[in-house]
Structure formats: C-alpha cells, structure tokens
C-alpha cells in the first residue's frame, strides 16, 4: 500500500495535501507494509540461544544432574548425601542395592570429606 492509496482510503485528495501530510501518510503506509510482511514470513534462522542449548551435554541425555540425584537421595532418607559424588549417588539410588552397601558408600564419602578437611 502506498501513501496515495492510504489518502484515497481516508477520502483525501493527494494533490491538495501538504508535504508533511503526504510524508506522514507515506510513512504510515510503509510501516503497515512492514508489519504485514513480518506476519506472513516465517522465521528464517532458529534462535541462536536455543541452538547452543540443544548442543549442551545435559541436553544430549547424559543422565540426571548431581542436584537431582541429591534431591532423590534426600527424599529416600539417605544420610550424608551432600558429600557423595555423582557416581556414588547413582549407586546409592539403584533400586536393588542393600542397606549395608549404602552405609559403606556413605562412610567412604564421609572419610574422603574428612581427610580433605585436614590441614598439615
């Protein structure tokens, strides 16, 4: 749509309009054309952020995070889950593990944590 068509739509004679009025109508027509073309065209490029996130290792299915494993251990009532690493948490949360094994893994994690606290 052009400024002339917009003036005709409003019932104004294009030749009797002032320069400012002609410019306003032309700008208004240009803006409406841009808006209409933006509505009709699909996005050409995917969002860069979503593309980067889709390639992140956690999005590739490397299993649950340590944080989610810690929350599951807390819900199950396992003691000293905060000092366990991810592999220990995965072992402790297996459904067929015996209670003695859970206690042994927890004791090993606590010993490792205490030895790391010592300063010579």
- Segment 55-96, tens digit of pLDDT: 666 555 667 888 889 999 999 999 999 999 999 999 999 989
Torsion of CA 4, 8, 12, 15, to 10 degrees: 40
Share of the chain above pLDDT 90, in %: 32
Q: What is the CA radius of gyration of the chain?
A: 33
Q: What is the pTM of this model?
A: 0.48
Q: How far apart are CA 110 and CA 79, in angstroms?
A: 10
**Angstrom distances, CA of residue 113 to CA of 51, 81, 102, 108:** 39, 12, 17, 9
**What's CA 29's distance to the chain center, in Å?**
37
């Amino acid at each position: 749509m052009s400024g002339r068509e917009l003036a005709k739509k409003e019932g104004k004679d294009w030749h009797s309009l002032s320069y400012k009025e002609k410019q306003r109508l032309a700008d208004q027509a240009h803006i409406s054309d841009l808006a209409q073309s933006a509505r009709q065209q699909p996005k050409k490029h995917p969002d860069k952020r979503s593309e980067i996130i889709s390639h992140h290792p956690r999005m590739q299915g490397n299993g649950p995070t340590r944080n989610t494993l810690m929350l599951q251990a807390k819900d199950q009532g396992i003691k000293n889950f905060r000092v366990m690493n991810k592999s220990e948490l995965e072992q402790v949360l297996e459904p067929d593990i015996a209670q003695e094994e859970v206690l042994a893994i927890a004791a090993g994690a606590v010993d490792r944590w205490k030895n790391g606290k010592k300063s010579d």
